[in-house]
Amino acid sequence: MMSIAVSVINHNDAAATIECLDSLLTQLVPADRPFKLDIFIVDNASDTRDRRLLENRLPLPGSDNIHVAWLDRNLGFSAGHNRNIRDIFEGATPDFVWLLNNDCIVKADCAAHLVECATSSPQTAIWGATLIEPDDATIQCAGGCTYNTWISSFRQLGHGTPLEKLSELQRGDPDYIAGASLFFPAPLVKTAFHPAHMEGARRHDSTPLLLNEAFFLYFEELDLAQRLKPEYDMRWCRQAKIVHSGGKATGAKGRIRSAKAEYFSSLGALIFTKTYFPNRLWIMMPARFIAKCIQLIFTGNVRFVRYVARAYVDFIKKTTPPEL
């Protein structure tokens, strides 16, 4: 029987995490599924109330396959998943590794479709899913996104398409797979990617890492795509469907942004451009800053302009990112 190791990060959002876990466990119904799930959770130093809520709800009924690491400080998205990946490979040898946002609700047969896609294409190192808006009727992202390195803007493939037209969507050519759901054949986690450029990262041990810990939040999936070796590719698994709320881990809600989202998305964009497209940095820096400020002003989020400016100052000074 094939096994899937799922990595989920919780930070002050236990209610969403429980919903995500419930949806994952439905993937094991009916009982004759040709795969099993092991779910690894890192709690990234949630506050006492949130941690207690998660503790009280675990283990879920019939879920002896859930493993939780309770951390005393917030490692961020990349380091949190890397901690889970280390635990996954220390304790077992899964067939697949699935990095999943805690604000995702996995639709019926999603895991089965991902396994089918992955087994049909052994040279594909990363599989993306069909991400669906919370209205459960509109496509948020058809697997991946394109990215403009000159002005640091992205476009979600298939965004806004009615879900009923999923079968009509053409397969796009993504620059990266959307980070809410990243599905890997387990052997390729170790072999399909060049080592991460770790300048400014907070390393915790000498274990080889999948995600680049220079990125606390955002841009880790773009970095991963840049490190993909040329003999491998990344694809969209059309029938693997996931409802993705988005923004919960950062406190953002739809058009209402958060200080954390604005700071770390800006810092991530700067680090990513400096790492992979340094000759474009001096065009990208002012272009993104001006565009971001205009966006925040016109969406009623002008109070967050100072967090964008703070990210730029911290990047230039190479200051350690704060806890926001």
Task: Look at residue 34 in the predicted model and tell me its pLDDT.
Answer: 85
Residues 98, 242: one domain? yes
Same domain (yes/no): 298, 156? no
In tens, the pLDDT along 146-172 reads 999 999 999 999 999 999 999 999 988
Q: Once rounded to an integer, what is the mean pLDDT over residues 250-255?
A: 54
**Which pLDDT band holds residue 313 (cuts at 50, 70, 90)?**
very high
Residue 263 sits in the same domain as residue 244: no
Question: Would you say residue 324 lies in a domain?
Answer: no
Identify whether the C-beta of residue 146 lies closer than 8 Å to the C-beta of residue 153: no
With respect to residue 269, please indicate whether it lies within any of the assigned structural domains: yes
Question: For residue 99, is it within any domain?
Answer: yes
Residues 167 and 277 in one domain: no
Choosing from 224, 250, 276, the residue where a domain stops is 250
pLDDT of residue 197: 79
Let me know whether 246 and 263 are in one domain.
no
| Residue 322 resides in a domain | no
Question: By residue range, what is the domain housing residue 45?
Answer: 2-250
DSSP string of 7-43, one letter each residue: EEEESS-HHHHHHHHHHHHGGG-STT-SEEEEEEEEE
Q: Are residues 237 and 299 part of one domain?
A: no
Global pTM reads: 0.93
DSSP element (H, E) containing 119: helix 110-120
Residue 274, judged by CB atoms within 10 A of its CB (0-12, 13-18, 19+), counts as: middle
Phi then psi for residue 141, to 5 deg, are -160, 130
Does residue 195 belong to any structural domain of this protein? yes
Residues 144, 285, single domain; the answer is no
Asked if residue 40 is part of any domain, the answer here is: yes
Q: Do 79 and 228 lie in a common domain?
A: yes
* CATH number of residue 15's parent domain: 3.90.550.10
Same domain, 33 and 182: yes
The domain total for the chain is: 2
Clarify whether residues 205 and 312 are in a common domain: no
**Where is average pLDDT lowest: 2-11, 52-61, 95-104, 297-306?**
52-61
What would the two tokens of residue 39 be?
């779910």
What is the per-residue pLDDT across 19-78, written as a single tens digit (0 to 9) for each?
Answer: 999 999 999 888 788 889 999 999 999 999 999 999 988 876 656 789 999 999 999 999
Task: Indicate if 86 and 197 belong to the same structural domain.
Answer: yes
Q: Which of 217, 250, 283 is the last residue of a domain?
A: 250
Percent of the chain with pLDDT over 70: 91
Encode pLDDT of 213-251 as tens digits: 999 999 999 999 999 999 999 999 999 999 999 765 555
Examine residue 219 and state whether it is found in any structural domain, yes or no: yes
Residues 183 and 280 in one domain: no
Show which of 250, 281, 305 is a domain's final residue: 250
| Residue 130 φ/ψ, nearest 5 degrees | -85, 110
194, part of any domain:
yes
